Amino acid sequence: MFTPLEKFSNNNPESSSYRVSLTGLTLGNVRLSSRCILAPMAGITSLPFRVINRSYGCGCAFLEMINARSLSYLSRQTREMLRTDDRDRPLGIQLLGSEPRFLLKALERLKEYPFDMLDFNAGCPKKKVLARGEGADLLKEPGRLRELLRLLVRHSHVPVTVKIRSGWDSPEGLGDLVRSLEDTGISAITVHGRTAVQGFRGRVDYRAIKTVKGAVAVPVIASGDIFSAQMAKKMFDETGCDAVMVARGAWGNPWIFTQIHAVLEGSAEPALPDIEEVVGVLKEHFRSCLAFYGAARGVVRFRKFYIWYTRGFSHVRSLRSAVKYAKNESEMMDLIEQFRLTGCRQTCCKKME
């Protein structure tokens, strides 16, 4: 069993030499190489995105949520979501659902696929998900959530984890809730420190995550507002969590993993990548989108990533507007090349002024 003190290089998290050891976290029987995990994100965390982030140190990644019902029918779109390869481990699949028969069918289907963990989504606040009694709606019915988790733990051949919000509309009773979820045999709890009603508004509630950590013995993964290495450190410091989950902070910024590692190990934060390195990653990510989605869809899927990678650079406004009209590989490559020639880090322009 993991105790918080084992991860500290000394036993005093308040001391200035406080560091978090990055290794040593085990979820069920899965040993992670790092305590920085890539979050599940619908429409974003497909294989190309996961592989890029892994190459910068992300220790574990999750597929976007997959509805148990569609998994049981295994549509073309679902098969595409499930695509993975040897570079992509350890890997978690996330299931969304509320009907036992579909969850069981989904587990049956998943036997053919290589993955290491099964996460259950009890945190999605989308209206259409809530209307089906799934995602965060289950936080209103803890008994039902426990039953579903018990079912998954009993029938899954890999460790089961759950991802929750810090409550439905308030963190009241959160400690009791997570203790009762732990009793189902799950191997970890991820908590996004905002309530379901909050959605993505407001700041992450560190106190709520700390409550979860204090209530259970299984590892607690903290999610919410990890936009920089300093914010990751703040999350460890304030909550005592066992790992952090990076979501929007990784958009166009796989370097965040390297930066978090450096800061947690007590080293200086590495400088931001120069434009050549950003262009190199842009090209690599684009090529893997083409290979994954095919030429036409690959270009469309890549547009938002272009916008994200070019954030923080000046002289690129017109390129960022033009990308929504890029129709094929050569037009996208041309925009990447123009970015290389004209883009300039905003900080470096300010220095020159």
Q: How far is the CB of 64 from ligand FMN (least distance, A)?
A: 4
Q: Are 186 and 220 in contact (CB under 8 A)?
A: no
* Residues 31, 38: Cα–Cα separation, whole Å: 15
Closer Cβ to ligand FMN, 242 or 336, answer by number: 242
Q: Is the dihedral of CA 112, 118, 120, 121 positive or negative?
A: negative
Q: How far is the CB of 192 from ligand FMN (least distance, A)?
A: 4
Least Cα distance to 59 among 88, 29, 85, 82 occurs for: 88
Burial of 320 (0-12, 13-18, 19+ CB in 10 A): middle
Q: Which residue has the tokens 């909050």?
A: 198
Q: Please give the backbone phi and psi of residue 6, each rounded to the nearest 5 degrees, phi first.
A: -60, -25
**By the rule CB under 6 A, 192 interacts with ligand FMN:** yes
Residue in 58, 124, 241, 289 annotated catalytic:
124
Q: Look up residue 15 and give its two tokens.
A: 């001391």
**By the rule CB under 6 A, 137 interacts with ligand FMN:** no
DSSP state of 36: E
Question: Quick one: which of 163, 261, 285, 301 contacts ligand FMN (CB under 6 A)?
Answer: 163
Closer Cβ to ligand FMN, 8 or 292, answer by number: 292
Q: How far is the CB of 191 from ligand FMN (least distance, A)?
A: 9
Closer Cβ to ligand FMN, 223 or 258, answer by number: 223
Task: Please indicate whether residue 60 is annotated as part of the active site.
Answer: no
* b/e code 272-303 from CB counts within 10 Å (16+ = b): ebebeebbebbeebbebbbebbeeeebbebbb
Question: Quick one: which of 39, 149, 186, 335 contacts ligand FMN (CB under 6 A)?
Answer: 39
From the list 9-17, 121-129, 144-152, 314-322, the region that binds ligand FMN by CB under 6 A is: 121-129
**By the rule CB under 6 A, 40 interacts with ligand FMN:** yes
**By the rule CB under 6 A, 41 interacts with ligand FMN:** yes
Question: Quick one: which of 123, 125, 254, 298 contacts ligand FMN (CB under 6 A)?
Answer: 123
Question: Quick one: which of 22, 51, 65, 158 contacts ligand FMN (CB under 6 A)?
Answer: 65
Question: Quick one: which of 48, 54, 64, 233 contacts ligand FMN (CB under 6 A)?
Answer: 64
| Contact letters for ligand FMN, residues 217-256 (x by CB under 6 A) | ------xxxx--------------------xxx-------
Q: Tell me which long-range contacts 86-90 makes (C-beta under 8 A, separation of at least 24).
A: 87/51, 87/54, 88/47, 88/50, 88/51, 88/54, 88/61, 89/114, 89/116, 90/30, 90/31, 90/32, 90/59, 90/60, 90/116, 90/117
> Which residues would be at the binding site for ligand FMN (CB under 6 A)?
39-42, 44, 64-65, 94, 121, 123-124, 163, 192, 223-226, 247-249
By annotation, the residues acting in catalysis are 124
